[in-house]
Copies of this chain bind each other. A is one copy, B any other.
């Protein structure tokens, strides 16, 4: 997010077909304030911005998440999935690396004994996946479990987590995380 709150607000407001005064009335603020915000002459307080968005209505989270424009879809042959070499685990990204996405979908391959590293991972968002082949030890928030083909996991990524291939066979999974991690 560019922090260009003004331009963004203006686009959103016009998308809903509202004038500054109309929105101001619904939001319980002055039209002048909306003018100033849209020109980026002030950085609104969170409470004011919330009041304004309530007049639309739109949630704060949606406002900051909203992406205005662009569409690069498509298909990806297996050899077109970009490899993200992260140590002993092979990560193949589904989708364009450049395009703005709301998720990261990965086709992951763990060699026997491979793992995500010593320290536990923590980051915002959620992630989940399905084991396609082999055996994978999944540790989340202190709890461990070994999963096989067809088994799955889903958790908030803020919980410390770690993955390890405990089988002697290669392990293959498909995972997704939101917001995108790559």
Chain A positions within 8 Å of B, measured between CB atoms, are: 1, 3, 5, 15, 42-50, 58-62, 64-67, 71, 73-78, 81, 94-96, 101-103, 105, 107, 122, 124-126, 128-130, 132, 138, 140-141, 143, 145, 147, 149-156, 158-159, 174, 176, 178-179
Contact = CB atoms under 8 A, between A and B. Distances in A.
Given A3-B50, A78-B150, A105-B176, A71 B125 contact: no
Q: Main SS of the interface on chain A? A: mixed
A73 to B, nearest CB: 3
Given A45-B46, A75-B151, A132 B129 contact: no
A64 B64 contact: yes
Given A61-B64, A66-B124, A176-B103, A152 B73 contact: no
Given A1-B59, A1-B61, A179-B62, A105 B78 contact: no
B154 A76 contact: yes
A44 B45 CA distance: 5
A141 B42 CA distance: 34
